A = this chain, B = another copy of it.
Amino acid sequence: MAWDKKDLLGLEYLSAGEILTVLDTARSFSEVSTRSIKKVPALRGKTVVNLFYEASTRTRASFELAEKRLSADIVNMNVATSSVTKGETLLDTVKNLCAYQIDVIVIRHAMSGAPMYLARNVESSIVNAGDGTHEHPTQALLDMYTLREKLGDLRGRKVAIVGDIAHSRVARSNIWGLTKLGARVTVVGPPTLIPREIEQMGVEVSYDLEAALKDADAVNMLRIQREREKLSLFPSLREYAKLFGLSKDKMAGLPAGIIVMHPGPINRGVELSASVADGPNSVILEQVTNSLAVRMAVLFLVTGGTSLHPEHLSA
Contacts and interface: CB of A to CB of B under 8 A. Distances in A.
A314 to B, nearest CB: 12
Tell which of A34, A37, A85 has the most Cβ of chain B within 10 Å.
Answer: A37
Copies of this chain: 3
Interface residues of A, number: 57
B88 A265 contact: yes
A64 B75 contact: yes
Given A38-B101, A45-B38, A96-B288, A265 B86 contact: yes
Given A65-B75, A73-B68, A265-B92, A57 B38 contact: no
Contact of A264 (B73, B74, B96): B96
A198 to B, nearest CB: 26
Given A47-B65, A73-B39, A73-B69, A268 B89 contact: yes
Nearest to A44: B37
Contact of A61 (B35, B77, B95, B264): B77
A99 B285 contact: yes
A46 interface: yes
Nearest to A82: B57
B33 A38 contact: no
A252 interface: no
Nearest to A34: B101
Interface in A68-107: 68-69, 73-75, 77, 79-89, 92-93, 95-97, 99-101
12 contacts: A36-B45, A37-B46, A39-B45, A47-B68, A47-B69, A55-B83, A61-B97, A62-B100, A81-B83, A92-B264, A96-B264, A99-B289
List the 3 closest pairs (A to B, CB-CB), nearest first: A37-B45, A99-B288, A88-B265
Interface of A: 33-39, 44-47, 49, 55-58, 61-62, 64-65, 68-69, 73-75, 77, 79-89, 92-93, 95-97, 99-101, 226, 264-268, 285-286, 288-289, 292, 315
